[in-house]
Amino acid sequence: MIGSNVARVEDPSLLRGEASFVADLIDAGTLHVGFLRSPVAAGRIVRLDLDGALRSPGVIAAIDGDTLSRFAGALPVLHTPDPTFVEATGFGMSVPSVYGLARDRVRFVGEPVAAVVAESRALAEDALERIDLVIDEEEPVVDPRAALDPQSRQVHPETPGNKAAWIRFARGDVTQRGIVVEGRYRIGRHSGVPLECRGVLGAYDARDDRVHLWTSTQIPFLVRRAVCEALGWSEERLRVAVPEVGGGFGPKANIYHEELVVAFLSRRLRARVAWIEDRTEHLLSSAQSRDQFHRTRLTVDGEGRILAYEDEFLVDIGSHNLWVAGVVANTAIHGHGPYRIPAFDIRGTAVVTNKAPTSQYRGAGRPEACFALERTLDLAAARLGIDPIEIRRRNVLTSSDLPYAVGLPYRDGKPIVFDGHDFGATLETAVRLVTESRKRVDENDAGSEDSNPTGVGYAMFIEATGRGPYETARVRLGADGRIWVHSGAASAGQSHKTTLAQIVAEVLSVDLVDVRVVSGDTDLAPDGIGTFASRTAAVAGPAVHRAAEELAKEIRGRAARLLDCRPEDVTFVDGELRDASGDRKISWVDLAEAHLRGGVLSTLPFPDVVERFEPDTVTWVAGTHAAVVEVDADIGRTRVVDYVVVDEGGRAIHPRVVEDQIRGGVAQGIGGVLLEEFEFDSNGQPKSVTLAEYLLPTSLDVPDIQVHHITSPSPLNRLGVKGVGESGTIPVYAAVASAVDAAFQWSIHMDATPISPRSLLAALENDS
Amino acid sequence: MKPPVFDYYRAASVDEALDVLDEREGARVIAGGQSLIPLMNLRLARPEALVDIGRLEHLRRVGVVDGSLYLGGLVTHATLCGHPAILRHAPLLAEAASHIGHQAIRERGTIGGSLAHGDPAAELIACCSALGASVYLESSSGCREVPAREFVQGPYSTAASHNEIVTWIRIPLADDRRVGFYEVAPRPGDFARVGAVWCSEPENDKSTVALFGSDCGHMSIELGGDGRAADVLDAVRASGRVQGGLVRVVEAAVKRSMPTEFHE
């Protein structure tokens, strides 16, 4: 069961259109919330008069930041790193307060300023236009480098010097004598724009004075905690449940103004209230990401072996980032790469600006670190006249190096040890696979007139997966004889209903269809963290596994009474429970029915186990990507025509799910390196507000992706599982940029993403 | 986003539609809605009333009369891609229409709508200019014919007045006509950044290159029968409308719309 490509449990209902996303939960009685959003990037609210809205047809209520401040405080920050890590890295942060509706000042275009509740969304939007909002504009801070200038205006009073976080990840002496190459890199601002926008629906239960909040989120338990903390509610008062979610990718692992406001309005109005984000709102105000500048300095010897690596980086986090600690820490730590780096000094600063807030997005700082390191390595290879493959070969960690201690702690305070087997093997395999693939293409295309330059680029990556602190799983026998699984994980399309069920099905020897996974509901599991940071398989998986094993123990005790044998003789075989001889057997339905009224076990509650898994620390994945591009140099268009991924990861619960997670990650990486960008003008006005400007990759932009997975079981959990959600994206930027350089024989060095036709043509012009 | 409140008229005849347009200054025609509806949803366009001409089936016809191909204003892009008369007499339109959005958009978007909207990136406008087509505009005062080359006057600005409807497009046929098309867009189906349509009629000793695209706008360059890419580029540079790195892209599009013998 574990390790097999079973048909996905999710598919039938999704394909038949029977699944309920948050918008499907709207009924005739549901009221609709519209948000008035700031039209300017920075300013002081001089007048905010809701009268016109209140008198608008179909409007039930309207509220502004001032009124909300009587009931709600700020949203809490979502991550504070371990003290050991803080000590070792000098990490610090200044966290600005984020309120449900702007108080006094606005700090980005799209920031919610007021909310209107009406009988329909259209009526709400009509009412929003009748609100009198006057803002005294201030000069927005738009460039993060300028933001650090002492003369710059402050975005928030609580972030002096516009510095939201700082870190230094350093070990050894970087002043080595050798050949030095320096690079300057930029990864443009973009994010995981999901197919389904956000949405929140609050249903008020008057009898129990509770709000049932449905939200398209990856972190239901954290939403509950944050909203209750801000509203001063006991967590008993709020149930957060996740409906079907059409993609999360990180931006939905965040706490938003709208969640706080809808929860509040639902209780205040004693009504069923919904806000469904439209695409423009999404592109304006859902968390954005990346947006980093790096200055690197690599010292190598004459053979290209790394002696020292330095990187100074800036992250433009926009007006706030509740995960700012995670972004800077990830970027700093993953600047190390899967190589032997005797001395390194990586210093980073997160800067606030008057742009949309940011959060984590697939890779969460690692892609940026990887881009900077890998591009610099390519620069060194070019300088020394060494093949890019060879320079990596000379530095990569192989079986004689691993496990490899970096000498500094991870975000959880535990020493970083790369627990892999042979990262170099992924490089060799990638080279072999892409070479074979290219030979097949050349043979098929013999005689083709295509004269566009093509190039192959390589990039290696390392990724910390399975971050704690823990995940919770509840596994129980249902009255229907099925096994029900509730965990802290919340699927946004990652096949949890299948993979977590596979674990339980294996432990209990039942059919997959008899294991029902219902997660993401704070009433069904006692506790949880959520789905992000490539942690579900590696943390929720073992939690579910442990819970299933504990459940098995309880079940044995119950079944023994029905089978008239000792508990230790009960066996789970083929969806039945049998005694040692196999002569006596009962079905799971029999067992369940015995607990019902009149049954032999009816004085006992249904077996119901809660377990928590706390991983010792993160478990590391590494690998190599090879990208093949074809460039139309006259018009500056780059196409990725072939792509190979070789990763060394953990044991696959469902190999196809693992491969397709990687493929999805690669597709998003291709989007980020070639197409996607949130652009702002000098007034902080966003220019990418529809999908005509923010370009997402389509099936025509992504080639077939070969994935070769090498299993190196994790030593950190009994399943041997490592995470896989993000690795597909991490090295794509570097691999594609490298391939573009290769297409022109390294006469250019693409140092910024997205590699647009304009930037490529400019680079080719400069070169010639 | 939801549009603001508007009145809706479904016209049973062209005259009915024209009556509403005369009566109400804030009324706009809607056909396929593929440009207008997004603008209304974003509240960038706020017509007080929509006059839906989608039921005027006679405007969906395609036919050859007296040496010209006539297309009704409601002919969809999908029809342009596959109609036998188009493929036979004006295959350029089929090629161009295949670059418009995606299948769903092509099933509803119309050639009349594309012309009336006047988007700088509209392929069909450039095709009509290059083919020497003309546009029939009907109003309550009658019908007039405007050469396609003069119809679009600037971005989103056409020769049509508020109370006129694009009813027919006429394309004069020519047996010896040679055509070419090339578009530069970020992804298939995206709005063109730069595009070129080439149409040569050796018997009349003339050729036309019509440019389109969000980066360069509509521009029609008329040359002799032997017109070369170099001549086109001279005209483009002289106009001052295309600067810097864009010139190279325009050059590529123009050359790729023409057979290689016309490049130098």
**Is pLDDT of A623 > 80?**
yes
If you write DSSP's letter for every residue of A548-616 in order, what string do you get? HHHHHHHHHHHHHHHHTS-GGG-EEETTEEE-TTSSSEEEHHHHHHHTSTTSTTTTSPPPEEEEEE--S
Q: Which CATH number fits domain A471-613: 2.30.30.40, 1.10.4100.10, 3.10.20.30, 3.30.365.10?
A: 3.30.365.10
Chain A positions touching B186 (Cβ under 8 A) are 637, 675, 695, 757
> B170-207 burial string, b = 16+ CB within 10 Å, else e?
bbeebeebebbbbbbbbeebbbbbbbbbbbbbeeeebb
Chain A positions touching B2 (Cβ under 8 A) are 120-122, 125
- DSSP alpha helices (H): ranges in A93-247? 121-129, 144-147, 220-231
Q: What is the mean pLDDT of residues A341-358?
A: 98
Q: Which CATH number covers residue B216?
A: 3.30.390
A177 vs A199: CA distance, rounded Å: 56
- DSSP alpha helices (H): ranges in A276-411? 279-285, 324-334, 366-384, 388-395
Q: Which CATH number covers residue B163?
A: 3.30.465.10
Chain B positions touching A275 (Cβ under 8 A) are none
Q: What is the predicted pLDDT for the residue at A175? A: 95
Token pair recorded at residue A190: 């973009």
DSSP three-state, residue B168: strand
**Partner residues linked to A44 by β-bridges:** A105, A136
A417 vs A408: CA distance, rounded Å: 9
End-of-domain residue from the set B172, B188, B217: B172
Q: What is the predicted pLDDT for the residue at A627? A: 98
pLDDT digit string (tens) for A15-45? 999 999 999 999 999 999 999 999 999 999 9
- Please state, in angstroms and as integers, the Cα–Cα distance from residue A57 to each residue in A120, A124, A125, following that order: 10, 9, 11
Chain B positions touching A637 (Cβ under 8 A) are 184, 186
Please choose, from the candidates A71, A74, A66, A36, the residue with its C-alpha nearest in 3D space to the C-alpha of residue A267: A71
Chain A positions touching B190 (Cβ under 8 A) are 692, 695
A630 vs A451: CA distance, rounded Å: 9
Chain B positions touching A129 (Cβ under 8 A) are 4, 43
Tokens 């000498």 found at: A407
A707 Cβ contact list (under 8 Å, min separation 6)? A645, A647, A658, A659, A662, A663
* DSSP designation for A652: -
- Nearest by CB to residue A126, choosing from B4, B187, B193, is B4
A49 vs A43: CA distance, rounded Å: 17
A759 vs A751: CA distance, rounded Å: 10
A99 vs A74: CA distance, rounded Å: 5
Please choose, from the candidates A267, A268, A272, the residue with its C-alpha nearest in 3D space to the C-alpha of residue A214: A272
Interchain contact, B187 vs A675, CB within 8 Å? yes
Chain A's closest residue to B194, CA to CA, is: A635
Instruction: Judge whether A746 and A738 are in contact, CB under 8 Å.
Output: no
Same domain, B154 and B187: no
Tokens 């201690």 found at: A405
Does any domain span residue B20? Answer: yes
- Number of domains forming the structure of chain B: 3
Residues of chain A with CATH 3.30.365.10: 289-466+616-767, 471-613
Same domain, B165 and B63: yes
Same domain, B152 and B70: yes
B249 inside 8 A of chain A by CB: yes
Chain A's closest residue to B1, CA to CA, is: A278
Chain B positions touching A763 (Cβ under 8 A) are none
pLDDT digit string (tens) for A230-253? 999 999 999 999 999 999 999 999
Instruction: Judge whether A654 and A690 are in contact, CB under 8 Å.
Output: no
For residue A627, give the amino acid letter.
Answer: A
Same domain, B129 and B236: no
Instruction: Judge whether A251 and A192 are in contact, CB under 8 Å.
Output: yes
Q: First CA to last CA across chain A, in angstroms? A: 58
A725 Cβ contact list (under 8 Å, min separation 6)? A362, A465, A494, A532, A533, A534, A535, A536, A661, A665
| Local confidence band at A450 (pLDDT 50, 70, 90 cut-offs) | low
* DSSP designation for A459: E
Interchain contact, A635 vs B184, CB within 8 Å? yes
Q: What is the predicted pLDDT for the residue at B33? A: 97
- DSSP alpha helices (H): ranges in A299-361? 324-334
Q: What is the predicted pLDDT for the residue at B243? A: 85
Interchain contact, B2 vs A758, CB within 8 Å? no
Same domain, B166 and B184: no
Chain B positions touching A701 (Cβ under 8 A) are 187
B252 inside 8 A of chain A by CB: yes
Interchain contact, A634 vs B3, CB within 8 Å? no
- Nearest by CB to residue A635, choosing from B2, B190, B249, is B249
pLDDT digit string (tens) for A560-598? 999 999 999 999 999 999 999 989 999 999 999 999 988
Interface test with B, best of A37, A634, A688 (most B CBs within 10 A): A634
Chain A positions touching B4 (Cβ under 8 A) are 125-126, 129
Same domain, B76 and B110: yes
A609 vs A547: CA distance, rounded Å: 6
A491 vs A286: CA distance, rounded Å: 19
End-of-domain residue from the set B172, B196, B227: B172
Instruction: Judge whether A187 and A367 are in contact, CB under 8 Å.
Output: yes
Instruction: Judge whether A345 and A136 are in contact, CB under 8 Å.
Output: no
A546 Cβ contact list (under 8 Å, min separation 6)? A473, A611, A613
Q: What is the mean pLDDT of residues B183-211?
A: 96
Closest CA of chain B from A114, distance in Å: 17
**Is pLDDT of A371 > 90?**
yes
**Torsion over CA: B247, B252, B257, B260 (sign):** positive
Cβ–Cβ contacts within 10 Å for residue A57, how many?
A: 11
Structural domain including B200 reads: 177-257
Does any domain span residue B263? Answer: no
Same domain, B198 and B105: no
Chain B positions touching A761 (Cβ under 8 A) are 245, 248-249
End-of-domain residue from the set B122, B152, B172: B172
Query: What is the DSSP pairing of strand A179-190 with strand A59-64?
Result: unpaired
Interchain contact, B190 vs A695, CB within 8 Å? yes
Same domain, B141 and B38: no
Same domain, B40 and B65: no
Chain B positions touching A697 (Cβ under 8 A) are 187
Q: What is the predicted pLDDT for the residue at B244? A: 85
pLDDT digit string (tens) for B95-111? 999 999 999 999 999 99
- DSSP H or E run through A472: strand A471-477
The rounded mean pLDDT for chain A is: 96
Chain B positions touching A280 (Cβ under 8 A) are 1, 42
A606 vs A611: CA distance, rounded Å: 16
Instruction: Judge whether A726 and A595 are in contact, CB under 8 Å.
Output: no
pLDDT digit string (tens) for B199-242? 999 999 999 999 999 999 999 999 998 999 999 999 999 999 89
- Nearest by CB to residue A700, choosing from B1, B42, B187, is B187
Which residues of A fall below an 8 Å CB-CB distance to B?
A: 120-122, 125-126, 129, 278, 280, 634-637, 675, 690, 692, 695, 697-698, 700-701, 757-758, 761-762, 765
Same domain, B234 and B136: no
Chain A to chain B, count of Cβ pairs less than 8 Å apart?
Answer: 53
| Local confidence band at A449 (pLDDT 50, 70, 90 cut-offs) | low
Query: What is the dihedral angle through the alpha carbons of A358, A362, A365, A371, rounded to the nearest 10 degrees?
Result: -130
* DSSP designation for A362: T
Interface test with A, best of B35, B102, B184 (most A CBs within 10 A): B184
B2 inside 8 A of chain A by CB: yes
Q: What is the predicted pLDDT for the residue at A79? A: 82
Q: What is the predicted pLDDT for the residue at A446? A: 62
Instruction: Judge whether A561 and A600 are in contact, CB under 8 Å.
Output: yes
Q: Which CATH architecture has domain A289-466+616-767?
A: 2-Layer Sandwich (3.30)
Same domain, B190 and B227: yes
Q: How many residues does chain B have?
A: 264
State percent of chain A over pLDDT 90. Answer: 97
Q: Which CATH number covers residue B26?
A: 3.30.43.10
Chain A's closest residue to B256, CA to CA, is: A634
Does any domain span residue B2? Answer: no
Q: What is the mean pLDDT of residues A407-419?
A: 96
- Nearest by CB to residue B186, choosing from A634, A695, A762, is A695
Does any domain span residue B238? Answer: yes
Closest CA of chain B from A189, distance in Å: 18
Same domain, B33 and B85: no
Interface test with A, best of B105, B184, B187, B260 (most A CBs within 10 A): B187
B25 vs B14: CA distance, rounded Å: 17
State percent of chain B over pLDDT 70. Answer: 100
Interchain contact, B252 vs A758, CB within 8 Å? no
**Is pLDDT of B186 > 80?**
yes
| pTM: predicted TM-score of the whole model, two decimal places | 0.96
Interface test with B, best of A284, A635, A687 (most B CBs within 10 A): A635
Chain centroid, CA A201 distance in Å: 23
Q: What is the mean pLDDT of residues A272-277?
A: 98
